[in-house]
Amino acid sequence: MKAVVLGGTAGIGRAVAQRLATRGDRVFLLGRNADDLERSAADLTARHPHQERAGWALCDLDDPVSFGAALDAADRALAQFDAVIVTAAMFATQDALESDPELTRRLTTTNFANTVTFCEHARTRLLARGGGWLTVVSSVAGDRGRKPVGIYGASKAGVSAYLEALDHKYRASGLWALCVKPGFVKTAMTAGLKPPPFAGEPDGVARDIVHAMDRKRPLIYTPGIWRLVMLVIKHLPRVVMRKIEF
């Protein structure tokens, strides 16, 4: 693969980039902090000196104007990428979002509207060259309206529906859209929160992502136990959901 990773300087994105580079895939990093990007690209290059130097470009999900130029830079560096992986997103607690309408606007815009806009830029390019991989990290929080993650979950539910529609419409044209639904993952984004049962680690999630991309799967839960957990949650009646805090 010639992969572009948006969010590749930390957490899941960094772990995905490392896994791809380790097996010989070329990687181009996108993110919003130049220093972080430079350090991450240098680290990838040092770990894999047999490969070309890892490249990077600035791209901020809060700023859709940056999307086209960032993907142009990736195309030049990779001589046309064939995979785009989006791990960047915003997170805030339900209490924080309910008390701050501006934070709610920013999170829902970044996680849904801007993520879809970025993916549309990528989709157009991939289809024009015969297809490729479009992988986006959503969340189990989008599977059901739940009290502790109502607003964040709504933003992820929209992304999940969008990716399912892409799979339905464009798989026959060679676009392999993968929706990744992690449970709680121990990253900087969740720092300070108490990990629930079945909490995942970035490297384990990255392993599952790369495995699913290789097999051109449209949907995964990771860690895998979350598929069973959410199957139960999705079938609980509303009267039960109103009483529990999950």
pLDDT for 133: 98
What digits encode the pLDDT tens for the residues 74-130? 999 999 999 999 999 999 999 999 999 999 999 999 999 999 999 999 999 999 999
The yes-or-no verdict on residue 192 having pLDDT over 80 is: no
pLDDT for 195: 65
Least confident of 44-48, 126-130, 195-199, 204-208: 195-199
pLDDT for 196: 62
What digits encode the pLDDT tens for the residues 45-66? 888 777 778 999 999 999 999 9
Average pLDDT over residues 32-47: 94
How many domains are contained in the chain?
1
The CATH number of whichever domain residue 13 belongs to comes to 3.40.50.720
Average pLDDT over residues 15-44: 95
Neighbours of 177 (CB within 10 A): 24
- The residue type of 88 is A
Considering the entire predicted model, what is its pTM?
0.93
pLDDT for 191: 57
pLDDT for 51: 73
Percent with pLDDT over 90 in the chain: 87
User: Is the pLDDT higher at 133 or at 192?
Assistant: 133
Average pLDDT over residues 31-39: 96
In a domain, 176, yes or no: yes
Domain residue limits at 38: 2-241
In a domain, 137, yes or no: yes
In a domain, 179, yes or no: yes
Minimal CA–CA distance to 91: which of 139, 59, 134? 139
Contact 29, 17 (CB under 8 A): yes
pLDDT for 52: 78
pLDDT for 49: 75
The yes-or-no verdict on residue 197 having pLDDT over 80 is: no
What does pLDDT average to over the chain? 94
150-158 contacts at long range (C-beta below 8 A, 24 or more positions apart): 150/94, 151/94, 151/97, 151/98, 151/104, 151/107, 151/108, 152/91, 152/92, 152/94, 152/97, 152/107, 152/111, 154/108, 155/107, 155/108, 155/110, 155/111, 155/112, 156/111, 158/111, 158/112, 158/116
pLDDT band at 186 (very low <50, low <70, confident <90, very high): low
Percent with pLDDT over 70 in the chain: 95
In a domain, 246, yes or no: no
Average pLDDT over residues 4-23: 95
